[in-house]
Structure 1
Amino acid sequence: MFVTLTNRVSKRVKRMSWKTITLFIAAMGVFMAPGSALAANWSIHYPRPIDENDQRHDYPLTLLKLALSKTGVRYTLTPSERILLQGKSIRQLKENREINILWVMTDTQREKELLPIRIPIHKGLIGWRVFLINQSLEDRFEKVTDFQSLTKLTPLQGAEWPDTKILQSNGFNVLTVTDFPEAFSRLALRQGDFFPRAVSEVLDELNYSSLDPDIVLEKDLVIHYPTAMYYFVNRANPTMARLIETGLRRALEDGSFDNIFISHHREALLKVDIGNRKVFHIDNPLLPPGTPLDDKALWFDPEKHTPNVNDD
């Protein structure tokens, strides 16, 4: 935990390495009384995105600010000094270096290494996957009549993303990439048939100014698997986890969470229109046993409800 200390640092602490000081501060958070957590100035560091114009960070940051505002704490929210890809972000958070929070899709390994705040920030939309494709290959998707015919096409996914293993376990031959720019480049070059993207992400990505004009949204199909994107913190930092969870719970109770969720996702849900697509439901063998699937207030089912244009 990165907490600004107002006391004068002793000579002994001054001789500590930065890593030692960081771990010392994190350990302090475990023993802080609830009242002292409110008095602290929380310095929260998250992974800097690849591109400063990457709008996929907008919603998680907005929701995090809402959660913190519900607790009354003072805080600063700052990106890491350098760009951190997903795999690196996870390793840095595990080691309590550079960042003290991130938001990624959950799986069993990540929940062993990090401390999850088990409130799905996109209400499960991260598991509803539509396809970005090269428009010159559109006829291949028109020939998909069943799931078996879909698995004959090659999806693109990140080498360290849980989605890769999920798709592979369901029969797909996945072409892996190192990052998003490579996935888009390969799609533009027709190396791979489709890039499955979450409903919660796809619209922002389609609006990238650098996106190749040949990359379009496939119009008829969607894959769904149960999963969640959570905020994660270091396992030695339960105080921060409890603080953020408290704020999220309060936002759910007063409706402000859902207001932000609908406001941010309305346009994408209307554009994707899952109710008029063929949905393939597949298994997620990486889903941790602690996933709160039975808490209906935490999930949004776009097959059953799509927000109206004027929904608030």
Structure 2
Amino acid sequence: MKNMRKGFDRLIGGVVILVLFAFGMVSTVSAETFRMAVPKGSEDNFAFQIGAIRLAIANAPGEHQLEVLSVERLTQTRGLTMLRSGEINVIFAGYNPDFSEEFLQVDFPITRGLQGYRLFVIRADTQASLMRVKSLEDLKGFCIGSGQGWLDTAILKDAGLCVTEAPQNNLISMLENDRFDMMHLAVHEALKRDRVQQLKRAGLRVEETLLLRYQYDFFTYVGKNDKIRHSLLEQGFQNAFFSGAFNEYFRSDPSIAAAMDYIRQSDRRVIDLDNPGIGPKNDQTAEQYWLTE
């Protein structure tokens, strides 16, 4: 009788565990800590990207946390070094084929491709000439300032455009001093109040008639062998997207919302460029996430 009782207890215990699993009360996913770094003092500039990653983690299976380190004079190069060494275990960066080879890329474009919708910043005396630009061929008559090391720079060059490369922090002063005809910024970056004020102080303005567009965005990367965090982030972004949580977050960001309204209401002439750097994996896997405006 005692053996039968033990057997019955084991059976009941097994049934209880199965029920708990069925109702999600026992987690099979270990709690992970995600660590990323941003330049100290730039936390507000990257608030949308940080929030998007935090949202993905919240929508991934299990209970996890994100730690954000503020690092003095952090560059992308240093951030990648920290990822390689294990000081951090997740990073976001503009798509780069080299990154997708060295690290595991989470195939979710963080701004849904809005990063590839670009406005030109110009001196006021350039506007009249740009009114006559109707095509890519017309645009080749102007020289564009673009960030050193930006994949955008390679996209513009591959399209046959005249490009002057310079460190990002030097672009505005170089444009102001007539080193090139224009520079480019993502729509949601160009329309930010502090950016508009910065341009105004430099005697610059957003060009009125053109929109440059190509497939480009920030992606999230983890170490090549960090398959657990990679899987959690992919599941988290996917869950957030299909539940509507990501689009709600996307539309609630003031600069993103302003950019989307601006694009919808604008009658700008759109010049589309190819981005040969976005490989087949991105086109097939993440196609559903990209904007179709």
TM range, normalised to the smaller chain? 0.7 to 0.9
Distance 1:144 1:201 in 2: 23
* TM-score when normalising by structure 1: 0.76
**Which residue in the other structure is 2:38 paired with?**
47
Is residue 256 of structure 2 the alignment partner of residue 301 of structure 1? no
- Which of 248, 256, 271 aligns to 1:259? It is 248
Is residue 190 of structure 2 the alignment partner of residue 202 of structure 1? yes
Distance 1:278 1:55 in 2: 32
**Which residue in the other structure is 2:164 paired with?**
175
Instruction: Tell me if structure 2 keeps the 8 A contact 1:117–1:231.
Output: yes
Distance 2:265 2:142 in 1: 21
Is residue 126 of structure 2 the alignment partner of residue 133 of structure 1? no
Change (3 A) 1:147 1:98: same
- Which of 56, 78, 85 aligns to 1:67? It is 56
**Which residue in the other structure is 1:239 paired with?**
228
Instruction: Tell me if structure 1 keeps the 8 A contact 2:210–2:269.
Output: yes
Instruction: Tell me if structure 1 keeps the 8 A contact 2:107–2:286.
Output: no
Correspondences of 1:1-312 after superposition (within 5 Å):
35=28, 37-38=30-31, 40=32, 42-48=33-39, 51-52=41-42, 55-71=44-60, 72-93=62-83, 95-179=84-168, 181-204=169-192, 207=195, 210-213=198-201, 214-264=203-253, 265-273=256-264, 275-293=266-284, 296-302=287-293
Deviates more, 1:78-87 or 1:222-231: 78-87
Runs of 4+ in 1 over 6 A off after TM superposition: none
Distance 1:87 1:186 in 2: 24
Distance 1:43 1:284 in 2: 31
Kindly state the Cα deviation for residue 201 of structure 1 after the two structures are TM-superposed.
2.6
Change (3 A) 1:111 1:202: same
Instruction: Tell me if structure 2 keeps the 8 A contact 1:132–1:194.
Output: yes
Kindly state the Cα deviation for residue 267 of structure 1 after the two structures are TM-superposed.
0.8
Note the alpha carbon deviations across 1:272-293, whole angstroms, 9 max, x for none.
4475111111111211221145
Deviates more, 1:161-170 or 1:101-110: 101-110
Q: Which has the higher helix share?
A: 2
Kindly state the Cα deviation for residue 263 of structure 1 after the two structures are TM-superposed.
2.0
Q: Which consecutive unaligned segments of at least 5 residues does structure 2 have? A: 1-26
Amino acid at match of 1:82: E
Distance 2:97 2:274 in 1: 15
Q: Please, what is the CA RMSD of the aligned residues? A: 2.4
Amino acid at match of 1:75: Q
* TM-score when normalising by structure 2: 0.80
Instruction: Tell me if structure 1 keeps the 8 A contact 2:54–2:66.
Output: no
Amino acid at match of 1:227: Y
Report the structure number with the largest CA radius of gyration.
Answer: 2
Note the alpha carbon deviations across 1:48-94, whole angstroms, 9 max, x for none.
26x43x6431111111111111234232422242222234333443x
Q: Which consecutive unaligned segments of at least 5 residues does structure 1 have? A: 1-33, 303-312
**Tell me, what secondary structure is at the counterpart of 2:183?**
strand
Instruction: Tell me if structure 2 keeps the 8 A contact 1:188–1:212.
Output: no
Instruction: Tell me if structure 2 keeps the 8 A contact 1:107–1:288.
Output: no
Change (3 A) 1:37 1:292: farther
Identity of aligned residues (%): 22
